[in-house]
Amino acid sequence: MKIWKIALLVEDMDEAEDLYVNKLGLKLLERLDLGDAGEALFLDAGNVNLELIPVKAFEGSGRLAIPGVHHLSFKSDDVEKDAKELKEKGIKFIKEPFEALPGMTLAFFDGTNGVNLQLFNWKR
């Protein structure tokens, strides 16, 4: 598996966009409509992407709702299959595979020291 993106859960999206795009010069790749939660931003950070997610997108999701570094994401060709294989190796999942948006399948699992890890697939 390869790391595809690092996601930050932020309280002020305008402030975060200003810092990462206007001041640090990361290229905005895409704005993703999250409905009532606002927008997530995908940024080109060189060898990995950076995703900025509004806190509102994870309200009521326990430890997934804490602002800051939210998760490291691993690109997967088949989230369900990879999740099954990881479970067989003793990995505990925080959130089982689910369709977050049409064509986008995610799953969250437990990394060491409280780090959230994600399997990610987006068929466009």
Per-residue pLDDT at 115 exceeds 90: no
How are the residues of the chain apportioned to helix, strand and coil, as percentages rounded to the nearest 5?
Answer: 30, 45, 25
Q: For domain 3-122, say whether CATH 3.10.180.10 is its number.
A: yes
Sheet arrangement for strand 116-122: 27-33, 39-44, 49-54, 3-10, 68-75, 116-122, 104-110, 93-101
pTM, entire model: 0.78
Rounded to whole angstroms, how far apart are CA atoms 33 and 117? 22
Domain boundary assignment for the chain? 3-122
The model's pLDDT over 56-93, given as tens digits with 9 standing for 90+, comes to 999 999 888 899 998 999 999 999 999 999 999 999 99
The pLDDT mean for the chain works out to: 93
